[in-house]
């Protein structure tokens, strides 16, 4: 009996000293539940997002491809459909068509220059094969700019005000839709300050959060009342369409 009591107390002490369980992020990883097309209007808004980076390879022999153009990869996904070819980790695109953004050509090209300089952008659009399938281009309709030039780590989610208002907290007044996925969750808030953004960046981010939405990159967390949140190590705001 004495041995049992000592063992029980020892086990209880070990449990008490154990690290608290990490929040489970139901949007993390990749599964069949992500799907390949939006099942609802809200989910459809979260598809066809790509991470865009320059091909900055330095090659010993110029072959017309090495160090030319860009790479486009679906956000949150391990494979991307490259035209009529097989799925690949990312697609090599030789040109970017910015006309779908409705921006003046000079403004759109300034974003291309930023990518060439090494800045990480998220864009929405489609990979388009040439008529002879010899090459690919990327037709862009939306440009999303991060508060940092480097990509964030974690789940990329489009977060919007959903109109829910509550008498008591916690209140799930935000909906996050995982990019390129049918998975979503209700949030009581997002934590943007940890991203290191400036006051101006934070002001614009919160404005978009309660407007057209904000791309938040980070991990699952909970507020002091148990409400579900997402902590942002990076966030992306949509580049505005100039009036002139």
Is the pLDDT at 6 greater than 60? The verdict is no
Higher per-residue confidence, 66 vs 135: 135
Count helices and strands in the chain by DSSP H and E runs: 4, 14
208: confidence class by pLDDT, cuts 50, 70, 90: very high
In a domain, 160, yes or no: yes
In a domain, 101, yes or no: yes
Same domain, 178 and 204: yes
Same domain, 133 and 183: no
Percent of the chain exceeding pLDDT 90 equals 51
Q: Which domain holds residue 128?
A: 47-145
Quickly list DSSP for 105-169: HHHHHHHHHHHHTT--EEEEEEEEE-TTSS-EEEEEEEEEEESSSSPP-SEEEEEEE-----SSS
Mention every residue, 6+ apart, whose C-beta is less than 8 A from residue 46: 38, 158, 177, 178, 179, 180, 181
In a domain, 3, yes or no: no
Same domain, 38 and 157: yes
In a domain, 244, yes or no: no
* Per-residue pLDDT tens digits for 165-174: 988 888 999 9
Same domain, 69 and 135: yes
pLDDT of residue 67: 58
Maximum CA pair distance of the chain?
84
In a domain, 19, yes or no: no
Same domain, 214 and 183: yes
Same domain, 66 and 112: yes
pLDDT of residue 132: 73
Same domain, 189 and 105: no
Same domain, 156 and 139: no
Domain stop point among 122, 145, 168: 145
**Which region among 34-43, 52-61, 78-87 has the lowest average model confidence (pLDDT)?**
52-61
Same domain, 162 and 182: yes
In a domain, 229, yes or no: yes
Whole-angstrom Cα distance, residue 164 to residue 154?
26
Same domain, 171 and 135: no
In a domain, 243, yes or no: no
pLDDT of residue 224: 86
- The mean pLDDT value for 106-111 works out to 91
**Which region among 16-25, 65-74, 125-134, 230-239 has the lowest average model confidence (pLDDT)?**
16-25
Domain stop point among 145, 167, 194: 145
Whole-angstrom Cα distance, residue 29 to residue 32?
11
Is the pLDDT at 13 greater than 80? The verdict is no
Whether the upstream peptide bond of residue 94 has omega within 30° of 0, thus cis, is no
Same domain, 137 and 194: no
Count of C-beta atoms within a 10 Å radius of residue 239? 18
Is the pLDDT at 219 greater than 60? The verdict is yes
In a domain, 9, yes or no: no
Q: How many domains does the chain have?
A: 2
Pairing of strands 228-238, 189-191: parallel
Same domain, 122 and 181: no
């Amino acid at each position: 009996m004495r041995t049992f009591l000592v063992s029980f107390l020892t086990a209880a002490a070990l449990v008490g000293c154990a690290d608290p369980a990490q929040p489970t992020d139901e949007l993390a990883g990749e599964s069949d539940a992500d799907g390949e097309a939006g099942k609802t209007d809200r989910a459809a808004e979260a598809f066809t997002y790509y991470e865009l980076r320059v091909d900055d390879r330095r090659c010993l022999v110029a072959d017309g491809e090495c160090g030319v153009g860009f790479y486009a990869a679906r956000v949150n996904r391990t494979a991307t459909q490259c035209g009529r070819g097989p799925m690949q980790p990312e697609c090599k695109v030789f040109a970017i068509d910015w006309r779908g953004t409705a921006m003046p050509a000079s403004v759109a090209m300034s974003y291309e220059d930023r990518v060439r300089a090494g800045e990480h952008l998220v864009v929405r659009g489609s990979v388009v094969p040439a008529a002879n399938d010899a090459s690919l281009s990327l037709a862009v309709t939306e440009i999303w700019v991060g508060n940092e030039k480097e990509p964030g780590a974690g789940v990329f989610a489009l977060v919007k005000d959903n109109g829910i208002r509550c008498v008591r907290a916690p209140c799930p007044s935000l909906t996050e839709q995982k990019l390129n996925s049918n998975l979503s969750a209700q949030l009581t808030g997002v934590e943007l300050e940890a991203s290191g953004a400036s006051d101006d960046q934070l002001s614009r981010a919160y404005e978009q959060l309660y407007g057209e939405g904000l791309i938040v990159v980070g991990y699952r967390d909970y507020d002091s009342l148990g409400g579900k949140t997402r902590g942002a190590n990076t966030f992306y705001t949509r580049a505005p369409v100039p009036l002139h």
